[in-house]
Structure 1
Amino acid sequence: MFRDCTQSLTPTAAMYPGDPQVERVPHATHEEDGYRVTRLELGTHSGTHVDAPYHTEPDGRTLDSFPVETFAFDALRVDVRGKSPREPIGGGDLPDATDGDLLVFHTGWDAHWGTDTYFDHPYLTADAAAWCADHDYHVAIDALNVDPTPTENARDDEPDGVPAHHELLGTDHLIVENLTNLDGLPRRFRLSAFPLSVENADGAPVRAVAEFGE
């Protein structure tokens, strides 16, 4: 069975504060040109997307340096749906080391897509991200960010910057963000998240599709 786990690229799609919004502008129309073409403007981290090391690491690898088969993952879903807004995902939430190459943190935060609450998502601690990297896991999440996203609700004890990104991307591990539709997926499944082929990209939107048995 297949399930689409991708948020749609719309003008109201949630973006990290300061990132460009998605815009769709008519370039050619049936009435004037006899065909339709739409100019699409967006950032490399729009919607459901994958981060390359180059995103946060000045000398990090670009997305196009990874073989295409890298983006077909053997995924393990980690259920952390009990987390409160801005609550960290720490070592006690991590699974026992097992086979696979991607940990998918299922926060349930995609239910808040399109609301202000979406920006106050749970996040990975630096230690949890380092554990993932040490065990050779890429990471995915159904929230905007693996690190805290700045909002007026930020807590004094939250980390500065993007330490979880550095732990993962700094060790050549990828991050997939803004997944959706994870409810009901088995603990183990395949996740394909093939990015747009953009030269020297720091990230790119993906079509994320889960594959699992009946």
Structure 2
Amino acid sequence: MKIIDLSLPIENGMYMPKAYWHPEVAFSVLGVHEKEGRMSRKIQLGTHTGTHVDAALHFLPNGATIDEAPLERLIGEAQLIDVSFVGPRQAIKAADLERGCKSGIKCSRVVIRTGWVERAWGTDVFGKDKPYFTKESIQWLLDHNINLMLIDTGDPDSDDDFVVGKPAPIHVMIFENDVTLIENVTNLDKLPEFFKIIALPLKLKGCDAAPGRVIAIVD
């Protein structure tokens, strides 16, 4: 058995997309061995920090919260779809997903590799120039009965669809169809086509998302 960590590390001052709803990640020391006899820290971070699990509440006003995420969906057999041949700012089409899926869809949990986190994480282009999904490609996934979708980008929407004050259409389509979305996963180049996934977000009561530890288990 081999365990592959698909999570980005959460670090003091780490990269975050530039938006006022993404606070800077900050660690500060509260207790030290020399004074308090123990080490303790205060952590400031947003719900969408690093590798995180989105809840429907993120874009649906009456959507489920992250503490309501079904655990049976977050643990189980998963399948890799490799579309890393799609370039920056290009749409991921249904035909691309079909091409990147060697054996046809066999699992309700899919991990979609664009290679973007490997190429651009921590840079100014990470949020802007990523490949993005279309309604056609999401419908293709829905037609194959997926209920958990992991991506190695910060979000599935086109940057052209990003308008402050309006919901993101691809996010909305995903959540309206009761699919759980996990963003900013990494190390997808190390995965075989089939493996077991364990993706556990922090149990933050009433929240729209939570950072999580996501791992793949390869037999």
Which of residues 141, 151, 176 in structure 2 aligns to 1:132? 141
One-letter code of the match for 1:98? Answer: I
Query: Could you tell me how far apart the structure 2 residues matched to 1:68 and 1:55 are?
Result: 18
**Aligned-pair CA distance for 1:199:** 0.6
Query: Could you tell me how far apart the structure 1 residues matched to 2:24 and 2:123 are?
Result: 15
What SS is found at the alignment partner of 2:125?
Answer: helix
One-letter code of the match for 1:159? Answer: D
Query: Could you tell me how far apart the structure 1 residues matched to 2:158 and 2:14 are?
Result: 18
- Number of the residue aligned with 1:113: 121
Runs of 4+ aligned structure 1 residues displaced above 6 Å come to none
- Number of the residue aligned with 2:6: 5
Query: Could you tell me how far apart the structure 2 residues matched to 1:132 and 1:207 are?
Result: 24
Which of residues 200, 214, 219 in structure 2 aligns to 1:208? 214
**Aligned-pair CA distance for 1:115:** 1.6
Number of positions where the alignment pairs a residue of Structure 1 with one of Structure 2 = 205
- Number of the residue aligned with 1:143: 153
Query: Could you tell me how far apart the structure 1 residues matched to 2:191 and 2:156 are?
Result: 21
Query: Could you tell me how far apart the structure 2 residues matched to 1:89 and 1:35 are?
Result: 50
Residues 78/197 of structure 1: CA separation in 2 closer, same or farther (3 Å cut) = same
- Does the CA contact (< 8 Å) of 1:61 and 1:172 recur in 2? no
1:165-184 correspondence to structure 2 within 5 Å: 165-184=171-190
Gaps of 5+ in 1: 150-157
- Does the CA contact (< 8 Å) of 2:55 and 2:208 recur in 1? yes
Deviates more, 1:177-186 or 1:11-20: 11-20
TM-score, normalised by the number of residues in structure 2:
0.87
- Number of the residue aligned with 1:65: 68
- Does the CA contact (< 8 Å) of 1:12 and 1:114 recur in 2? no
**Aligned-pair CA distance for 1:170:** 1.4
- Does the CA contact (< 8 Å) of 2:13 and 2:26 recur in 1? no
